[in-house]
Structure 1
């Protein structure tokens, strides 16, 4: 799907909105940019384009068109060549396929580029019934894309393009699993009702509760280049499987009751996403002497969670295709598991001490992987990709695999336009028994990293990110930063290199 199609969709959406009469106006609900004072003198046309109304304010008759376009340049000390559908833009996390240094012009280093249309229609106005005051119809639909390449976000295609190739650096281009796999609406796609007292109930495709909560407590939230949570959906909202960072076929309820926030979600099985799943979230903004402190807790369970990967050369042979032909098949391998994840997180704004421009954030997350109790009813995964039945592993975790993750960081609004952020993320893996036949006791795993390590051995992983973001105008910001990641012991199994550092800079336009 090329960018021209996206631009046509935006144009059509704009025409549709302009056919309605009223502009509801009001403050923008789009977050993530700093306060900005308008110029005192009339600005020329180009300045109005970048410095007109704030992002998220193109609203007519309850319909809002909004979005982000992010261009960036990235250096990887150990990377792999990106392709157009890799929506993260670059391989920021050290991995098996990390090779030599890379410098690329790409996109989405700071945030996902997308176009969205959301609605908030008051039922009392729509139906002319005062008895419906406080009720609204709401919806949201988002198309994620890669502006540097002109493609719809489709990270599963990067797996397909590497079918049949080994994991030796330079054999493969950058490839990952993810929750955006070529669907037109690969971000949100939901609709429902909202009441000012009873909360909101929606059905469709949502971010997971864990995804949203981690984003709210991550200093580098939304940045593929600088945040582990944004780059890796496995730990950043997927509860062990990155495809589960967003839920198809799900129903979600959320409300604020006094100082408490509550939310719950349930995903029905099928709809290209394995088994069913459920999740709950409770949070609190503390008052009085503890004002500025927010705490959230989230739990999620996933049945038949799918972690997709590229096919091996043996898989391609079993499909009676050449390697070249195999790379054109929308067929992938997968590991299936039942996953449990829970997290507790907190942030504190230092306004009580006169530093309302400084916020500290941190938390803990635990993920448990176990063999599933059942097999998949369908071998179709997100984006319509098919799983090769001969290489779907239901028996990887003979004993449970566990991740324990900690993070800490903060944001500092140095000025109304300039914001600094930094974060450290660390997680550990236990030694578990797998069906691959490798060593399973801790004593045989100690001190082994990279190609000498077994993937079921205990290990650790660290990511450090830091960034500066300058809000040049209301809609345009420029940014620069760096991340560093390092894998050790079992979490570096098969790696030629065990660390990489990744400076990145770019510009982002939001409307």
Structure 2
């Protein structure tokens, strides 16, 4: 994946974390003014602080937000889509023009939200998060299926940026869950939640950027070949830390009718810290996981509003994610590996099904259920380093390598290499 963004002006604030909310102490009553070093002492100090360093809290409730905008030049770009999360920071099938354009969400995703962490008994707390991602220029909620549908009538050369995404226009398209936390028994939550694999990936990515990291650009890594399963709309999630060990398990309740992008999905995580060394592993299974796509100027089915339909390819997936990170003085070293295996789905859904986006669905005849007669085996390995120059300034570098097998049903069809490969199902690799 060659990076297209050559130059950009990015205005960023550190993204929020789901940590215990901290109550802001009031200014000293005798002085009548905030402390000199308070993050509330000036607008710049407030904007330059993270939500954890400078929380807007009352009791156990904290309001947070993050804005990431920019303007950039893309050698292989397309105009920014109204519902898309980002510009074409990597070469996509509709790339091909040179553009100066607005470039939102290059470092992180712009979000708004509120989180709760309130004690209700000794050792027990009520917790919750509601967070939505948006485009800071259009102020629209990110909606992957809508960005695809908006290009149904346009051939590739005339499309705006569009992406299959787990964010589908919900007001809580990032996360929206509630639960309880116990000092001794762990954390149990229910609702719209990041997949365990997705939550971990940013922490183990040396670059950790939407525009400049292969892992950050595409959800196919933490979704094990399927972008739209990186969040589960009806997830039951349990987490437990014991000394230096950690365990988590997550399962999906309901299927497509409940706003999910798969009929079923479950993951389990194990991890540990040993001094400055941290590592985690995740195993995932999903049934009938849906990858959504635009018609891209192909013939549309009669009788449907083009802005309300998309196509889908289904797969049963198995995935493994292994991650490690080591801290040495001002350096952090990273290494990671993911493996995804995609099979034909358990069900065909000949009559179609709803997408996670309200009002957008897959019509009858628009489901591909035989794409993986030969299973696809998709592997990624990466390594990198981050060096902290100052408390608020760091430099990082990473190398990412993907490979896949030839999963065409008929052997001997593949020819060419690179951009001239005869079929996207041919074996090959790429790096960035």
TM-score by length of 2: 0.86
Q: Could you say which residue in structure 2 is the equivalent of 1:86?
A: 84
- 1:49 Cα deviation (Å)? 4.2
Higher-helix-fraction structure: 1
Please report the RMSD computed on the Cα atoms of aligned residues, expressed in angstroms.
2.3
Distance 1:56 1:134 in 2: 25
1:191 aligns to 2:178 (yes or no): yes
Equivalent pair of 1:296/1:344 in contact (CA under 8 Å): yes
Task: Report how many aligned residue pairs link the two structures.
Answer: 397
Q: Could you say which residue in structure 1 is the equivalent of 2:235?
A: 250
Out of 259, 269, 277, the residue aligned to residue 254 of structure 2 is: 269
Q: Could you say which residue in structure 2 is the equivalent of 1:364?
A: 337
Q: Could you say which residue in structure 1 is the equivalent of 2:431?
A: 462
C-alpha deviations, 1:260-298, integer Å up to 9, x for none?
110000012321223111100000101xxxx21111111
Q: Could you say which residue in structure 1 is the equivalent of 2:295?
A: 311
Distance 1:122 1:111 in 2: 31
Distance 2:173 2:277 in 1: 33
Q: Could you say which residue in structure 1 is the equivalent of 2:213?
A: 227
Out of 133, 136, 141, the residue aligned to residue 147 of structure 1 is: 136
C-alpha deviations, 1:169-203, integer Å up to 9, x for none?
x3211111001111111011000100011110000
1:96 aligns to 2:93 (yes or no): yes
SS at match of 1:157: helix
C-alpha deviations, 1:349-375, integer Å up to 9, x for none?
11xxxxx21100011110011101123
1:55/1:332 CA distance change after superposition, 3 Å: farther
- 1:110 Cα deviation (Å)? 0.8
1:213/1:42 CA distance change after superposition, 3 Å: closer
Equivalence map 1:496-507=2 (5 Å)? none
- 1:452 Cα deviation (Å)? 4.9
Q: Could you say which residue in structure 1 is the equivalent of 2:12?
A: none
Q: Could you say which residue in structure 2 is the equivalent of 1:59?
A: 57
1:43/1:307 CA distance change after superposition, 3 Å: closer
Distance 1:378 1:192 in 2: 33
- Of structures 1 and 2, the one with the larger relative CO (CA 8 A, separation 6+) is 1
Q: Could you say which residue in structure 1 is the equivalent of 2:419?
A: 450
1:40/1:240 CA distance change after superposition, 3 Å: closer
1:40/1:266 CA distance change after superposition, 3 Å: closer
1:24 aligns to 2:26 (yes or no): no
Q: Could you say which residue in structure 2 is the equivalent of 1:107?
A: 104
Unmatched tracts of structure 2, length 5 or more: 1-20, 26-34
Distance 2:367 2:397 in 1: 39
SS at match of 1:116: strand
Q: Could you say which residue in structure 1 is the equivalent of 2:370?
A: 395
Unmatched tracts of structure 1, length 5 or more: 1-21, 27-37, 125-132, 351-355, 435-439, 464-511
Q: Could you say which residue in structure 1 is the equivalent of 2:278?
A: 294
TM-score by length of 1: 0.73
Equivalent pair of 1:279/1:301 in contact (CA under 8 Å): yes
